[in-house]
Amino acid sequence: MKKIFLPIMLILVLVGLHAIESKITSVTVYSDRAQITRSATTYLTKGEHRILFDELPQSIEQNSIQANGKGSAILRDVTFKTEQFAQITDEKKKTLNDELLKLQDNKITFNDKKSQAQDEKRVVKNILTKLTSTTEKTENVELDPEKWIKMVEFYRTKQETLDKEIRDTDKLVRDVNSEIDKIKREIREMGQQAYKYKNMVEVLVDVQKEGNLTLDLSYIVYGPSWTPIYDLRVDSEEKTMNLTYKSNIFQTTGEDWNKVDLKLSTAKPNMSAQPPELYPHYISIYHPQLTIEEVIASPAGASRSNKMSYDIEGLSLAEFSIKPEAEIGYSESTVESGATSVVFDIDGSNTIKSDNEPHLVTITIQEFPAGFRYSTIPKHSQFAYLKAKVKNDSDYPFLPGDTNVFLDNNFVANSHLKAIAPTEEFWTFLGVDESIKVEYKFVKKFDETGGLFVEKNKKIFEYLITITNNKRTQEEIVVWDQLPISQNEKIKVKLIEPKYKEDTEILKINEHKYIEWFFEPKSGEEILIPFKYSVEYPLGTQVDGL
């Protein structure tokens, strides 16, 4: 299809402007922004037309705007512009003032009602006072107990009714005061922000054949974001973990996303698409800074520095833009799963209000087989902590996010899930299980003072760890403790028990001197773990940390 180009100013004169009503049809949310697509359909005659998309959000990125669509037409130009307009009309002012007057009238009514209740309460109290007080003029006070009881009950009931009426009226007054403050704030803001700018996009199209034309306008807005959140439900009998992958979406763009096709992208458009570059790392002999006298004495014109400059390439917002001149009907996918990012296409239509409140949507629900193991550090906590090991055999990468952990339909704890790629394994702690009993006992400490020919002290520390499996099944458990680490060559730490030569499946020691035992106790089995070590140091030396 051949394209015709005319000078822009001539086109603006000859071509009429068509403001069309559009609606948001699809949204792709990134970690700090969103790509919005608006769609509109209009009937156009043959020839050139200017189509106006009005009232676009304030946070729009101008360089990201792109347009395409369907129909027998050619896209000539896409122009972004802003226009100042009166935000507050006389009609809006009148409406707010009418609401304010109505609220103030309601407040007067409520206060009158409260005053009446208080007056009635005083009258009832005065009647009781007159009946119960004696004066010189009082003659033959009625003392019939039955009548007194009825009078007291009447007084109590009436007082309770009036007190409740006063409390309820006070609440109504508080509520109406809050509404009055809100209306007054809006009226003040009218005076402070009488004008604002609105964003618009004009699309120039050359219609080749009369008929319906559908236009799609896409742009980036800053501010929207999404964060992952997970429900992990573990079934200890079935040995499975049900993982519900959800997202909290936030947005304050000023546009409600009503029943849109929603997508969530793991891409990070705020980061450069390529890693930083390496540059030559030069070293040389250090020369002290010359004094003024030495500078004057130095040969004229001597060069003492070399200047280098480099160009660093970064992310440009042009990555989100397209060429303004393209044929209507040209389509390209806005959803792409590649080597560096994944897009989650949320099922159905979704509504996300512009209220900065979390809007929860479900990304996927997966079930994985789970392996269980206990872990304990008796030195700090004499409990066994159950954890589940799961392999992510789905196609979904799990981003870092908060988790709600449930074990056998009972809430266990809030935790945090690290980034998990497909095929990667991860552990999740499920809380304390008191069916595995853990005891940590300090047995004794020996002090050996240096003798006639020995010029050092020696302390021996002895502990006993006991693990008892009170469950009906054989279980796995990892037990942790640690040796002190000497930071002085004169202080020697030696492990006495358990005997250790090298790492095995049952016993390991890492570079931090953390000791790891692995056991598989059968039901009812008790495991005794002796732990003993010595610390030697010169006489007269005080050791810190023992």
Strands 225-235 and 240-250: antiparallel
pLDDT of residue 31: 87
Residue 515 belongs to domain spanning: 449-538
- Among residues 464, 475, 390, 465, the alpha carbon closest in space to that of 435 is found at 475
User: pLDDT tens, 165-174?
Assistant: 888 888 888 8
pLDDT of residue 135: 52
Give a yes or no: residue 279 inside a domain.
no
Q: Give the 3-state secondary structure of residue 388.
A: strand
- With a pLDDT cut of 90, the percent of the chain lying above it is 36
User: pLDDT tens, 159-202?
Assistant: 888 888 888 888 888 888 888 888 887 777 666 555 567 788 98
The whole-number average pLDDT for the span 367-387 is 94
The whole-number average pLDDT for the span 520-537 is 95
- Among residues 526, 541, 362, the alpha carbon closest in space to that of 459 is found at 541
User: pLDDT tens, 59-111?
Assistant: 888 888 998 888 888 888 888 888 766 555 567 777 877 888 888 888 888 88
Give a yes or no: residue 459 inside a domain.
yes
Asked whether the predicted pLDDT for residue 334 surpasses 50, the reply is: no
Domain boundary among 192, 216, 244: 192
Please tell me the distance from the alpha carbon of residue 61 to that of residue 204, in angstroms, as a whole number: 20
Please tell me the distance from the alpha carbon of residue 540 to that of residue 7, in angstroms, as a whole number: 96
DSSP letter string, 62-85: EEEEEEEEESSEEEEEEEEEEEEE
Please tell me the distance from the alpha carbon of residue 206 to that of residue 200, in angstroms, as a whole number: 20
Q: pTM to 2 decimals? A: 0.59
Beta strands in 181-305 (DSSP E): 195-207, 211-222, 225-235, 240-250, 257-265
Please tell me the distance from the alpha carbon of residue 280 to that of residue 3, in angstroms, as a whole number: 50
77 compared with 308, residue with greater pLDDT: 77
Asked whether the predicted pLDDT for residue 273 surpasses 60, the reply is: no
Give a yes or no: residue 264 inside a domain.
no
Strands 477-482 and 514-519: antiparallel
Give a yes or no: residue 305 inside a domain.
no
In angstroms, the Cα distances linking 487 to 491, 527, 532, 533, 544 are 8, 33, 20, 17, 10
- Among residues 274, 265, 269, the alpha carbon closest in space to that of 397 is found at 265
Number of domains observed in the structure of the chain = 2
Domain boundary among 192, 212, 243: 192
Q: Give the 3-state secondary structure of residue 539.
A: coil
CA–chain centroid gap for 170, Å, is 39
Give a yes or no: residue 522 inside a domain.
yes
Asked whether the predicted pLDDT for residue 472 surpasses 80, the reply is: yes
Binned at pLDDT 50, 70 and 90, residue 530 comes out as: very high
Binned at pLDDT 50, 70 and 90, residue 132 comes out as: low
3-state SS string for 120-166: HHHHHHHHHHHHHCCCCCCCCCCCCHHHHHHHHHHHHHHHHHHHHHH
pLDDT of residue 235: 92
The whole-number average pLDDT for the span 258-272 is 82
In angstroms, the Cα distances linking 518 to 387, 463, 479, 499 are 15, 18, 7, 15
Give a yes or no: residue 424 inside a domain.
no
Please tell me the distance from the alpha carbon of residue 441 to that of residue 465, in angstroms, as a whole number: 6
pLDDT of residue 72: 86
Domain boundary among 163, 192, 221: 192
Please tell me the distance from the alpha carbon of residue 73 to that of residue 328, in angstroms, as a whole number: 6
The whole-number average pLDDT for the span 37-53 is 90
